[in-house]
Structures are given as structure tokens and as C-alpha cells.
């Protein structure tokens, strides 16, 4: 039976290995076979295969991407992670938008659900898309049009 | 500690009920006077709890039938995490963003996640939140749906 503390540690290791070191194999191990992402990128399904594809795509979109964890809250089978994601929009970071070559720095909040074996079964996450689009010059600031 | 977490989780529920009822006396007791938001857009609001009240009133002015449902709520230590779903119809004022100066008459259905820090009495002193606002702009017709959505 995995504890909230163990699940939180898994999330920290996931951010470090998958996002910061590019070790996708850790995601393959951590996600359960019946994993469901409730907030997949546009056009993607929410299953495990699609999630692994998304992690690979992120490495392409912003190869210098890093995620720094700012807060972790774990209780029962849930873990929430607040982080700051930084990188350079090298190959098109915002779906449907051209690559800008500009840097971005935005906050993210993700909530993960774990099963009794400590595997990640569900995910819901939101990042500050408007801030990213404003930083990349893809959207005017509120009030500015 | 478990008692504190239950109290904090109860404060989040009470706050959402008070927002729905526009019961701002209760809002002012659940949110601490020196409240600091870290939510995108909050810098455009009045400081402290009055900014929360202004944001709620803004929500009702855009979406008079606004409803918020807490879909997930848990806590640990001095933190709570709430995943919420907001529905409503933009029959009031225009949202004044992305060219939406007039009401669209369109319905929205979107999520946000809020992490709150509570003080020793359970009052909310800080929040960090992310809302799926691109989805709102798509639903209101200000932005095309990304491919495949």
C-alpha cells in the first residue's frame, strides 16, 4: 500500500527524471496501464500511450525545458504539484501556433491519483497558457485588446 | 493535525457556498484580512479579500447563472487543494478579454485547480490557482478550437 509521502516522492522523481533529464522510461514505469489523462493536449487521447507520446513531443517542442517544483500537497491517493516550467519555444510550444524562438516561464498545477501499488492512474493539470502566449507574443495582455 | 485538515477543507467548502450565495460577510470571515492571491489576473483586482469579492461579482456579471462545483478536495498540513468546475452562460456583460466586449450568449464549462494556505484558525491566507481559460475563450467563440478539440 503506497503512502501519500511515497506518492509525493514519486511525483518529485517524475519531474526530475522525465522533464529535467528526459528519461521517458520513468514515465512508462510510473503510469499504470489503465492511466487516464483528463487534460490531454488538443487532439490527443488520454491514455498511457498518448501520454508517453506527449512527453516525447515536449522534448521536441522545447528541448531546454525545465520544471522546478514549488509546492507538493499529498493526501490519501492524491498528490498536487505546483511547479514553474521554463524553456524556449524552439519547435512550437502552443498547439496550433508557430514556433517563436522566445523563452517562457509559467506556473503549472497538476493533480495525480495513485493506486495501491504506487502507480499513477489519473492526471489533471492546467498551466498558465495565457501567460505563455503573452510572453511569446501570441496574445495581447488583458485590457490591451 | 487531522482535525486541522478537516477544518481547512471545511473552510474551502464554506467559501464556495458563500460565493454562490454572494454572502460576503462569510467570505470576509473565511479569508484572512491580509490575504494574498497568486492567481493570474489577480494583480488587476483590489488588494486582499475585497479582490476576491470583486472577482466573484465580476463572474456573476458575465455569467448570471454561474455555478461552481467542487469535484475534488483534499488537504495536508496547512494546504488544501480544490479542483473545481464552473458552468454558466454569458448573458450578462462581455468578459472584456480577447475582443469579447459584448455578451456572447454562449455557455461555458471549465475547470480550475486551487492550492490554498490556511492560518492557525483555518482562514485562507494565500491561494495559487490555474484556470483553463483558453477553453473559455474557445467556448465563447473568441479563439478557434485547436486542431482535434
Instruction: Report the distance separating Cα B86 and Cα B95, nearest Å.
Output: 15
State the residue range of the domain holding A23.
4-135
Does residue A39 sit within a domain? yes
Nearest residue to A117 via CA among A21, A35, A23: A35
Nearest residue to A71 via CA among B38, B21, B6: B38
Q: What is the pLDDT along chain B (149 residues), one digit of tens a residue?
A: 558 999 999 999 999 999 999 999 999 999 998 899 998 778 888 889 999 999 999 999 999 999 999 999 999 999 999 999 999 999 999 888 878 889 999 999 999 999 999 999 999 999 999 999 888 989 999 888 776 44
Q: How far is A27 from chain B (nearest CA, A)?
A: 23
> What is residue A111's three-state secondary structure?
strand
State the residue range of the domain holding B118.
2-139
Inspect the interface and report whether the beta carbons of B72 and A111 lie closer than 8 Å. Answer: yes
Does residue B38 sit within a domain? yes
Cα–Cα distances in angstroms (integers) from residue B1 to residues A64, B29, B66, in the given order: 41, 22, 35
Instruction: Report the distance separating Cα B31 and Cα B12, nearest Å.
Output: 10
| pLDDT score at B32 | 95
Does residue A141 sit within a domain? no
Q: Which three cell numbers stand for residue B62?
A: 458575465
What is the CATH classification number for the domain harbouring A111?
A: 3.10.450.50
**Residue from the list B75, B113, B146 with its beta carbon closest to the beta carbon of A42:** B146
Does residue B54 sit within a domain? yes
* Cβ-based contacts of B144 with chain A (< 8 Å): 96
| Helix or strand run (H / E) with residue B62 | helix B49-62
**Residue from the list A44, A111, A143 with its beta carbon closest to the beta carbon of B83:** A111
Does residue A125 sit within a domain? yes
Instruction: Report the distance separating Cα A45 and Cα A38, nearest Å.
Output: 9
Does residue B113 sit within a domain? yes
Query: Phi/psi zone of residue B34: left (φ > 0), alpha (ψ -120 to 50 degrees), beta?
Result: alpha
Does residue A40 sit within a domain? yes
Residues 62-121 of A with CB under 8 A from B: 71, 73-76, 78, 80, 82, 95-96, 107-109, 111
Does residue B51 sit within a domain? yes
Does residue A22 sit within a domain? yes
Q: How many domains does the structure of chain A reveal?
A: 1
| pLDDT score at A145 | 39
Please tell me the total number of residues recorded for chain A in this structure.
145
* Cβ-based contacts of A145 with chain B (< 8 Å): 99
* Cβ-based contacts of A77 with chain B (< 8 Å): none
Does residue A15 sit within a domain? yes
What is the CATH classification number for the domain harbouring B12?
A: 3.10.450.50
Q: Is A50 on the interface with B (CB under 8 A)?
A: no
Angle CA B143–B147–B149, to nearest 5 = 80
Inspect the interface and report whether the beta carbons of A80 and B81 lie closer than 8 Å. Answer: yes
Does residue B144 sit within a domain? no
* Cβ-based contacts of B44 with chain A (< 8 Å): 142-143
* Cβ-based contacts of B94 with chain A (< 8 Å): none
A62-89 pLDDT, tens digit per residue, is: 999 999 999 999 999 999 999 999 999 9
Q: How many domains does the structure of chain B reveal?
A: 1
Inspect the interface and report whether the beta carbons of B75 and A73 lie closer than 8 Å. Answer: yes
Amino acid at each position: 500500500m503506497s503512502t501519500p509521502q511515497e506518492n509525493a516522492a514519486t511525483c518529485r522523481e517524475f519531474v526530475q527524471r522525465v522533464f529535467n533529464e528526459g528519461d521517458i522510461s520513468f514515465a512508462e514505469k510510473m503510469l499504470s496501464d489503465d492511466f487516464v489523462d483528463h487534460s490531454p493536449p488538443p487532439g490527443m487521447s488520454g491514455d498511457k500511450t498518448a501520454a508517453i507520446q506527449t512527453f516525447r513531443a515536449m522534448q521536441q517542442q522545447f528541448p531546454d525545458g525545465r520544471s522546478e517544483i514549488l509546492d507538493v500537497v499529498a493526501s490519501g491517493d492524491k498528490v498536487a504539484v505546483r511547479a514553474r516550467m521554463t524553456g524556449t519555444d524552439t519547435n512550437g510550444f502552443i498547439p496550433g501556433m508557430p514556433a517563436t524562438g522566445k523563452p517562457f516561464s509559467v506556473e503549472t498545477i497538476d493533480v495525480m491519483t495513485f493506486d495501491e501499488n504506487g502507480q499513477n492512474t489519473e492526471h489533471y493539470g492546467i498551466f498558465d497558457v495565457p501567460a505563455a502566449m503573452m510572453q511569446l507574443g501570441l496574445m495581447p495582455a488583458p485590457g490591451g485588446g | 493535525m487531522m482535525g486541522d485538515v478537516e477544518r481547512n477543507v471545511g473552510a474551502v467548502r464554506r467559501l464556495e457556498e458563500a460565493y454562490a450565495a454572494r454572502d460576503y460577510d462569510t467570505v470576509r470571515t473565511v479569508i484572512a484580512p491580509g490575504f494574498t492571491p497568486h492567481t493570474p489576473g489577480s494583480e488587476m483586482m483590489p488588494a486582499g479579500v475585497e479582490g476576491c469579492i470583486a472577482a466573484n461579482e465580476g463572474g456573476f456579471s458575465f455569467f448570471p447563472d454561474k455555478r461552481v462545483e467542487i469535484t475534488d478536495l483534499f488537504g495536508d498540513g496547512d494546504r488544501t487543494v480544490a479542483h473545481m468546475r464552473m458552468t454558466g452562460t454569458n448573458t450578462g456583460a462581455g468578459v472584456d478579454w480577447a475582443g469579447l466586449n459584448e455578451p456572447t450568449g454562449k455557455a461555458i464549462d471549465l475547470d480550475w485547480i486551487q492550492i490554498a494556505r490556511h492560518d492557525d484558525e483555518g482562514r485562507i491566507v494565500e491561494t495559487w490557482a490555474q484556470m483553463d481559460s483558453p477553453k473559455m475563450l474557445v467556448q465563447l467563440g473568441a479563439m478557434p478550437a485547436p486542431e482535434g478539440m
